Chain A
Amino acid sequence: MAINKVFNSFKEAVGDVKDGSTVFIGNFAGPGGTPFFLIKALREQGAKNLTLVANTAGGIGLTLDYDDHRILFQNHQVKKMIASFPFSTSAKRPSEAEKQILAGEVELEMVPQGTMAERIRAGGAGIAAFYTPVGPGTVFEDGKERRYFNGRPYLMELGLRADIALVRAWKADTMGNLIFRGTQRQFNPIMAMGADLTIAEVDEIVQPGEINPNCVVVPSIFVKRIVKVTEKTDFPRHLETDFQVKEEV
Chain B
Amino acid sequence: MDLTKERLSREAIAMRIAREFFDGAVVNLGIGIPTLCSSFVPEGMDVTYHTENGAMGFGRVVTDEDKAQWADIDLTNAGGQYVYPKPGMCFFNHADSFAIIRSGRIDISVLGVLEVNEKGDLANWMFPGRGVGNIGGGMDLAFCAKRIIGATEHTTKDNKAKIVKQCSIPLTAPHCMDMIVTDIAVIKFTAKGPILKEVAPGWTAAEVQELTEAKLIIAEDLKDIELL
Residues of A within 8 A of B (CB): 28-33, 61-62, 84-87, 89, 91, 98, 101-102, 110-115, 117-118, 120-121, 132-135, 137-140, 170, 180-190, 217, 235-238, 241, 243-249
Contacts and interface: CB of A to CB of B under 8 A. Distances in A.
B140 A113 contact: yes
B98 A118 contact: yes
A217 B193 CA distance: 48
Given A87-B133, A190-B93, A183 B53 contact: yes
Contacts of A33: 53, 74
Nearest to B51: A183
Contacts of B133: 87
Assign chain B's interface to a size class. Answer: 35 or more
Nearest to A138: B171
B37 interface: no
Interface SS, A side:
loop
Contact of B73 (A30, A118, A190): A30
Contacts of A187: 93-94
Contact of A133 (B86, B127, B144, B174): B144
A38 to B, nearest CB: 17
A186 B54 contact: yes
A249 B140 contact: no
A113 B55 contact: no
A182 to B, nearest CB: 4
B53 A114 contact: no
B183 to A, nearest CB: 21
A177 to B, nearest CB: 15
B80 A238 contact: no
A115 B140 contact: yes
Nearest to A187: B94
